[in-house]
């Protein structure tokens, strides 16, 4: 009965949908080849499992109306065929557009797009206005999309021409086929017959780190996160007292012995400045001569990391010690309204004025809303900048050089002491430098388009410090210099699950050399900045923080990459899938993460680490769900 012409047409259309997903995966790989450590045929084969889920969901109306038992005359009528094709085209268009988005967007996040992108679009004041610019810049993808749609029109028409109205099939046989295919639909929704439905995290079974994105497809990751209104809490411990023995977010901060008491604090967050682009760390280029000279007089941590992959994930980590361990960024999650602690809030107790500068349009990634929640009293965005028409970059906001001069002048008028943070802009796609500097900043590092803007921002920082050193506040200021995340890379190291988080974290205090006072071989991450700066300023405090004061304690670095938790402690990097430790590397000796030594560790050692990871994750889940993100809340 499956040889019936009607069902041949049906199965050919289903097969064509699967072929489309494989073709889109191939396009995804070809356009983003440079980001992957390896590309294997097996990734395409294993990817069919995830395609099965996406196809089942997106083509469900087409499949249902195709297999429901009806008289053959109705099923082969022109009206019914048009009805089926309408639902088929819904699946085709959504599948293609979703996967096309990640051909480009992936290079900014290094993960398949999840449903938080809808929240980001709805909350942003500028995303829709930038859409025409992206369509113009990536016109060839629009053309390719139209070509694919044209060929699908031809293919579907050719398949439909094979329908035979005279050939019939009994209602009994139709019912049998309906039951058979319904079973396949149930399996498809679950991604197989296993106990739990397949999720994003399962891609880690077939490919490591960033390569897991090849196995996935974007409709799958969107569907799997679309209805994640809140965290699904992990319950590893019944007793909170036992959990706190392994991980306690309440930190007792003591004054650092060489404290910089009551100094101003300025946190410079450099857009996309991964260590790979800074010649202090990478001697293959000379893109950052100013930062190189500044770092030579600073405390530079050898092992320093971001906790997230997006700009929107940086501020909660840096200001409030909240890592990015869920799919939705904290700022746009259901928990954004939680009561939080932060470095600005704490410093206001000591009489600090608080300021945040970002040359992007007000409302960008809800930075302004988060800053106010975190205790920032004065927000300076695009609309506060006096010469916006003159210095607008045409895309995101104000070019770095004039904006940093504006910052230096603004800080000359604020109440002292101050907490201030500046988030730079120019080293963001589409990587534009002002016209007058195009000849000056044209050095390319391995052809990476970001290179000229790295040079430009380094120059802008040079001019900022040159101006600032004559200001009354400069000598009494401690600078923390970091980056929000990394960007496009060439080296294999910067493409693996360790390298994609490698950003600088540097302490600079004019006229005070602290290089010998701090162990720069300690691990450090964004979530350590809040407690560490309090200690550096000589404060005695109790705080809620997932990070720690790295001037006195060892930290536990934590990330979530495509559904796999990653923890670093001492000389070990671990991958944890939520149930068991699946990998362990001695990352200081094995930076490319080639030698998985998890089976070489003793059972007791693994158990101790496992308990720590479980406690950190459960603490994270419960503190967000229960809105207990302050030291006082944790005490009750």
209: phi > 0 → left, psi -120 to 50 → alpha, else beta; which?
Answer: left
Q: What pLDDT is recorded for position 233?
A: 84
Average pLDDT over residues 491-495: 90
Instruction: Give, rounded to a whole angstrom, the gap between the first and last alpha carbons of the chain.
Output: 67
Residue 415 gets which letter from DSSP?
P
Q: What are phi and psi of 291, to 5 degrees?
A: -60, -35
Average pLDDT over residues 124-130: 61
Strand pairing category for 564-569 and 557-561: antiparallel
Q: What pLDDT is recorded for position 128?
A: 63
Return the number of other C-beta atoms located less than 10 Å from residue 205's C-beta: 14
Angle 5-31/60-67 helices, nearest 10 degrees?
170
Q: Which two tokens stand for residue 346?
A: 């704490």
Q: Return d(Cα 616, Cα 530) in angstroms, integer.
A: 18
Strand pairing category for 581-586 and 572-576: antiparallel
**Tens-place pLDDT, residues 376-426:** 999 999 999 999 999 999 989 999 999 999 999 999 999 999 999 999 999
Q: Which two tokens stand for residue 29?
A: 């790989």
Given a cut of 80, is residue 65 above it in pLDDT? yes
Given a cut of 80, is residue 281 above it in pLDDT? yes
In angstroms, the Cα distances linking 250 to 544, 549, 608, 614 are 5, 12, 20, 17
For residue 306, give the nearest of 564, 619, 524 by alpha carbon: 524
**Tens-place pLDDT, residues 532-554:** 999 999 999 999 999 999 999 99
Given a cut of 90, is residue 203 above it in pLDDT? no
Given a cut of 60, is residue 2 above it in pLDDT? no
Q: Return d(Cα 463, Cα 484) in angstroms, integer.
A: 21
Return the number of other C-beta atoms located less than 10 Å from residue 276's C-beta: 28
Q: For domain 242-635, which CATH number applies: 3.40.50.720, 3.40.50.800, 2.60.120.260, 3.40.720.10?
A: 3.40.720.10
Q: Where in the chain is the domain with CATH 3.40.720.10?
A: 242-635
Residue in the structure block whose two tokens are 């506040």: 473
Q: What pLDDT is recorded for position 87?
A: 96
Average pLDDT over residues 58-75: 91
Given a cut of 90, is residue 466 above it in pLDDT? yes
**Confidence band for 635, pLDDT divided at 50, 70 and 90:** low
**Tens-place pLDDT, residues 301-354:** 999 999 999 999 999 999 999 999 998 888 887 788 788 999 999 999 999 999
**Confidence band for 106, pLDDT divided at 50, 70 and 90:** confident
Residue in the structure block whose two tokens are 């259901």: 334
Q: What pLDDT is recorded for position 129?
A: 65
Q: What pLDDT is recorded for position 167?
A: 65
Given a cut of 90, is residue 616 above it in pLDDT? yes
Strand pairing category for 303-305 and 523-525: parallel
Cβ contact 292:279 at 8 Å: yes
Cβ contact 47:40 at 8 Å: no
For residue 543, give the nearest of 261, 347, 303, 334 by alpha carbon: 347
Given a cut of 80, is residue 586 above it in pLDDT? yes
Given a cut of 60, is residue 452 above it in pLDDT? yes
H or E segment to which residue 481 belongs: strand 477-483
The radius of gyration computed from the CA coordinates of the chain, to the nearest angstrom, equals: 27
Q: What pLDDT is recorded for position 127?
A: 60
Average pLDDT over residues 39-63: 96
Q: What are phi and psi of 38, to 5 degrees?
A: -155, 155
SS3 assignment, position 28: helix
DSSP symbols for 341-402? --HHHHHHTTT-EEEEEE-BPTTGGGHHHHHHHTT--EEE-GGG-TTHHHHB-SSSBB-HHH
Cβ contact 20:149 at 8 Å: no
**Confidence band for 231, pLDDT divided at 50, 70 and 90:** confident
Given a cut of 70, is residue 122 above it in pLDDT? no
Average pLDDT over residues 155-174: 81
Q: Return d(Cα 269, Cα 416) in angstroms, integer.
A: 21
Give how far the C-alpha of residue 43 lies from the chain's centroid of Cα atoms, to the nearest Å. 22
Q: What pLDDT is recorded for position 292?
A: 97
For residue 120, give the nearest of 136, 138, 103, 108 by alpha carbon: 108
Q: What pLDDT is recorded for position 383?
A: 93
Mean residue pLDDT of the chain comes to 91
Q: What pLDDT is recorded for position 376?
A: 94
Strand pairing category for 564-569 and 572-576: antiparallel
In angstroms, the Cα distances linking 581 to 210, 516, 574, 614 are 18, 37, 7, 10
Q: Return d(Cα 598, Cα 165) in angstroms, integer.
A: 62
Average pLDDT over residues 503-523: 90
**Tens-place pLDDT, residues 233-280:** 899 999 999 999 999 999 999 999 887 888 999 999 999 999 999 999
Residue in the structure block whose two tokens are 């210099």: 481
Return the number of other C-beta atoms located less than 10 Å from residue 517's C-beta: 12
306: phi > 0 → left, psi -120 to 50 → alpha, else beta; which?
Answer: beta
Given a cut of 80, is residue 229 above it in pLDDT? no
In angstroms, the Cα distances linking 496 to 490, 492, 566 are 11, 7, 12
Q: What pLDDT is recorded for position 124?
A: 58
Residue in the structure block whose two tokens are 């089976």: 599
Given a cut of 80, is residue 208 above it in pLDDT? no
Q: Which two tokens stand for residue 76?
A: 């082969």
Q: What pLDDT is recorded for position 13?
A: 95
For residue 547, give the nearest of 339, 302, 256, 342 by alpha carbon: 342
């Amino acid at each position: 009965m499956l040889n019936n012409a009607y069902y041949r047409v049906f199965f050919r259309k289903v097969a064509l949908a699967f072929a489309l997903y494989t073709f889109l995966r191939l396009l995804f790989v070809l356009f983003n080849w440079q980001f992957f450590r390896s590309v294997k045929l097996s990734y395409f084969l294993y990817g069919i499992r995830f395609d099965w889920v996406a196809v089942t969901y997106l083509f469900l109306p087409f499949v249902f109306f195709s297999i429901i038992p009806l008289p053959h005359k109705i099923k082969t009528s022109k009206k019914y065929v048009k009805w089926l094709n309408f639902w088929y085209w819904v699946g085709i268009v959504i599948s293609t557009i979703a996967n096309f988005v990640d051909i480009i967007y992936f290079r900014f996040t290094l993960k398949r797009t999840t449903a938080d992108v809808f929240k980001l679009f709805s909350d942003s004041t500028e995303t829709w206005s930038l859409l025409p610019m992206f369509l113009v810049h990536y016109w060839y993808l629009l053309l390719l999309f139209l070509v694919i749609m044209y060929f699908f029109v031809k293919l579907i028409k050719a398949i439909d021409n094979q329908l035979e109205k005279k050939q019939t099939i009994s209602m009994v046989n139709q019912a049998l086929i309906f039951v058979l295919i319904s079973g396949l639909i149930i399996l498809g929704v679950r991604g197989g017959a296993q106990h739990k439905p397949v999720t994003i995290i399962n891609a880690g079974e077939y490919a490591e780190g960033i390569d897991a994105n090849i196995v996935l497809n974007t409709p799958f990751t969107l569907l799997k996160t679309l209805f994640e209104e809140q965290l699904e809490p992990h319950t590893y411990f019944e007793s909170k007292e036992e959990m706190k023995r392994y991980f306690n977010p309440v930190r007792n901060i003591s004054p650092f012995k060489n404290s910089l008491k009551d100094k101003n604090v300025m946190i410079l967050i450099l857009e996309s400045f991964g260590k790979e682009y800074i010649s202090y760390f990478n001697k293959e280029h000379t893109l950052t001569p100013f930062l190189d000279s500044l770092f030579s007089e600073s405390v530079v941590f050898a092992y320093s990391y971001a906790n997230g992959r997006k700009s929107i994930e940086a501020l909660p980590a840096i200001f409030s010690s909240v890592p990015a361990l869920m799919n939705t960024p904290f700022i746009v999650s259901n928990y954004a309204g939680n009561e939080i602690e932060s470095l600005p809030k704490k410093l206001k107790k000591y009489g600090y004025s608080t300021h945040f500068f970002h040359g992007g349009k007000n409302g960008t990634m809800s930075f302004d809303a988060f800053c106010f929640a975190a205790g920032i009293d004065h927000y300076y965005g695009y609309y506060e900048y006096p010469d916006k028409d003159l210095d607008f970059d045409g895309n995101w906001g104000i070019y770095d050089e004039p904006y940093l001069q504006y910052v230096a002048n603004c800080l000359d008028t604020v109440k002292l002491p101050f907490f201030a943070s500046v988030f730079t802009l120019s080293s963001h796609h589409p990587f534009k430098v002002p016209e007058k500097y195009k000849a000056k900043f044209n050095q390319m590092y391995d052809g990476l388009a970001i290179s000229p803007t790295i040079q430009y921002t380094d120059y802008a920082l040079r001019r900022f410090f040159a101006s600032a050193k004559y200001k009354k506040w400069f000598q009494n200021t401690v600078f923390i210099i970091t980056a929000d995340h990394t960007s496009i890379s060439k080296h294999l190291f910067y493409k693996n699950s360790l390298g994609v988080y490698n950003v600088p974290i540097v302490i600079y205090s004019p006229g005070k050399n602290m290089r010998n006072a701090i162990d720069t071989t300690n691990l450090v991450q964004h979530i350590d900045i809040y407690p560490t700066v309090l200690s550096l300023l000589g404060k005695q405090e109790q705080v809620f923080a997932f990070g720690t004061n790295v001037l006195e304690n060892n930290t536990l670095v934590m990330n979530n990459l495509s559904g796999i938790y990653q923890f670093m402690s001492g000389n070990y990097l671990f991958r944890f899938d939520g149930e068991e430790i699946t990998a362990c590397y001695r990352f200081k000796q094995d930076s490319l993460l080639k030698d998985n030594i998890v089976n070489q560790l003793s059972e007791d050692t693994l158990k101790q680490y496992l308990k720590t990871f479980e406690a950190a994750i459960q603490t994270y889940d419960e503190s967000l769900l229960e809105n207990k993100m302050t030291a006082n809340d944790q005490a009750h």
